[in-house]
Amino acid sequence: MILLNPHRHQSTAGDAKTRQIMSRTIEFFEHKGKQRIKEDDRNRVWYADFLASVASNQTFATLLTPAAHAQDEATRWDTRRNCELNEILGFYGLAYWYTWQVTILGLGPIWMSPNEELKRRAAGLLREGAVFGFGLSERAHGADIYATEMALSPQADGTYRANGSKYYIGNANAAAMVSTFGKLADSGDYVFFVANYRNPSYHLVKNVTASQSYVGEYTLEDYPITGSEILSRGQAAWDAALNTVNIGKYNLGWASIGMCTHSFYEAINHAARRRLYGMHVTDFPHVQQMFTDAYARLVAMKLFALRAADYMRAASPHDRRYLLYNPVVKMKVTTQGEDVMNLLWDVIAAKGFEKDTFFEMAARDIRALPKLEGTVHVNIALIVKFMPMYFFGNAPYPEIPRRDEPGNDDFLFDQGPAKGLGQIPFHDYRAAFALYDTANLAVFRQQIEVFKELLATAPPDETQRRDTDFLLSLGELFTQVVYAQLILENARIYDVEADLVDQMMDFMVRDFSRFALGLHSKVCSTDRQMELCLRMIRKPACDTRRYRHVWSDHVLAQQGAYEMPD
């Protein structure tokens, strides 16, 4: 069983302290119960009880402090075990995950900085249970960091004064260190510095969202900054901004996985126990189809995100393939999460609005994840940059195994310049598509070959390359190939049976056909491109035995497997 079940959870971590942190986190939420979680959500209660638990268990300190600043052997930045906590927090509510996520973002520029004093301060604050913030976006410019207006003005005594506002900043009400991005007023160079919400020159304007989380606007007015509070300058500050997002946006896929998993259990329990017209709801064929599709998509989401973590942990200056896989987690896993919730909601219908369900909260919050840390459109535009080398610039790499061994992921905070994405080579994706021999995988391979033919013989012309709408549709098709590749690699690693793999390829074929139709329908598509798009539209291979097996032995078998206590 690849999906999280808190009642049967066994941490894969290799040390006792990490296993204890995971089990105590689950115990905190199970003891708190669904009713109190929902009450706090409705009343927008700041999650002080959760943060007290984090401090007591040294959760953030152990998981988010690099080994160089650790006080014990269990403390390290280990992407694999961070995935585990990501999923657990998402499983119980987006607000709990969010304070963890923005702490990760706030720590990024600190751990990437040459300022050792600030690193030591951050490590000490983590041990005290502090949370952190990432002051990047601004109200007028969003995440357009070229246009940042936060200014650091030099003073005669060698200090600085910071002036400007930041908007949509998580933990802005409580972050002991807010990594704040701006420009030096005299030179225009980029700069990262730290601010503290307790300073009198730090003005908390408001919570800009109507949620339990505090997503704030803050203003710095002649905020005093010394040289010792500057994290980085110039190109290093720019790289820290982009590389922090490279690390942080990956986590959004895990929040989606956690919320969808809890919602799946709630939905299957409700439907299997409910009788309509003399039948259990789960006896209706259309309900079985929706549940099977939701389950297959959810398993695929987790397989991809886990495999992307392997590439993050294996990354080096000579292997930066993770820079493609991370935005795919951000863009694809989160939008698949919306699809999963829509399928489940179509089954449970009005139940999904009831205030006492976890589903009601998740159905609202799942919409946020594709829109945070760069929209779907921004991430597809990034993904497209990798397409030529992915298909036509293959290079040999050693095989990446399952990377769940304990270890500090040093490279993530020493990524180097955030450039050269279009020159990164990839291993031959076709090896993953040879790992299984199933009917729908064969159909999907045929679709991919036609897509490659389009890229080789009818590539986007100059006008189409400037047409973002056209490129987004092209990017959806490319993303589908990358998504399937890592799913297949990880299905083999986790010994996923061929029938479930073929069920996942069933929805992959259907989705690829839908994206091909979308590209065909673009105003600027050429006759040759439209012809090739029509050749990509295929029907999945039907196998009643496979489908009945997956429904009975994988999907319906989850009925009663988990239910959260009130």
Q: What is the pLDDT of residue 282?
A: 96
- What digits encode the pLDDT tens for the residues 162-208? 999 999 999 999 999 999 999 999 999 999 999 999 999 999 999 99
Interaxial angle between packed helices 116-127 and 94-111, expressed in degrees from 0 to 180 and rounded to the nearest 10? 150
- Residue % of the chain over a pLDDT of 70: 100
520 burial class (0-12, 13-18, 19+ CB within 10 angstroms)?
middle
- What digits encode the pLDDT tens for the residues 235-291? 999 999 999 998 999 999 999 999 999 999 999 999 999 999 989 999 999 999 999
- Residue % of the chain over a pLDDT of 90: 93
Summarize the confidence of residues 461-478 as an average pLDDT: 93
CB 47 within 8 A of CB 100: no
Residue 409 has pLDDT above 80, yes or no: yes
Query: The tokens of 308 are what?
Result: 């992307």
Q: What is the pLDDT of residue 172?
A: 97
Q: 133-233 with 249-394+422-557: one CATH topology? A: no
The amino acid at residue 247 is I
CA–CA separation, 410 and 312 (whole Å): 11
Query: The tokens of 518 are what?
Result: 């979308």
- What digits encode the pLDDT tens for the residues 41-65? 999 999 999 999 999 999 999 999 9
CA–CA separation, 549 and 545 (whole Å): 6
What size, in residues, is the chain?
566
Under the banding of pLDDT at 50, 70 and 90, the label for residue 507 is very high
Summarize the confidence of residues 449-456 as an average pLDDT: 97
Q: Which CATH superfamily is domain 6-130 in?
A: Acyl-CoA dehydrogenase/oxidase, N-terminal domain (1.10.540.10)
CA–CA separation, 518 and 526 (whole Å): 13
Q: What is the pLDDT of residue 377?
A: 80
Q: What is the pLDDT of residue 14?
A: 76
CB 334 within 8 A of CB 393: no
Query: The tokens of 297 are what?
Result: 């998509």
Under the banding of pLDDT at 50, 70 and 90, the label for residue 373 is confident
Question: How many CA atoms does the CB half-sphere of 320 hold within 13 Å?
Answer: 21
CATH number for 249-394+422-557: choose from 2.40.30.10, 3.40.50.460, 1.10.10.10, 1.20.140.10.
1.20.140.10
Query: The tokens of 207 are what?
Result: 């919570």
Q: What is the pLDDT of residue 365?
A: 97
CA–CA separation, 176 and 167 (whole Å): 17
Q: What is the pLDDT of residue 372?
A: 83
| Residue that is written with structure tokens 């007591």 in the block | 56
Residue 434 has pLDDT above 80, yes or no: yes
- What digits encode the pLDDT tens for the residues 178-190? 999 999 999 999 9
Characterise 179 by phi-psi region: left (phi > 0), alpha (psi -120 to 50), beta (else): beta
Task: Return the CATH number of the domain spanning residue range 133-233.
Answer: 2.40.110.10
- What digits encode the pLDDT tens for the residues 147-163? 999 999 999 999 999 99
Other CB atoms within 10 A of residue 220 CB: 26
Query: What secondary structure, in 3-state letters, does 282-349 show?
Result: HHCHHHHHHHHHHHHHHHHHHHHHHHHHHHHHCCECCECCHHHHHHHHHHHHHHHHHHHHHHHHHHHH
Query: What secondary structure, in 3-state letters, does 418-453 show?
Result: CCCHHHCCECCCHHHHCCCCCHHHHHHHHHHHHHHH
Other CB atoms within 10 A of residue 499 CB: 17
Residue 487 has pLDDT above 80, yes or no: yes
Domain ranges of the chain: 6-130, 133-233, 249-394+422-557
Q: What is the pLDDT of residue 566?
A: 87
The residues pairing with 180 across neighbouring beta strands, listed in sequence order, are: 135, 193
Other CB atoms within 10 A of residue 547 CB: 17
| Residue that is written with structure tokens 């990524």 in the block | 415
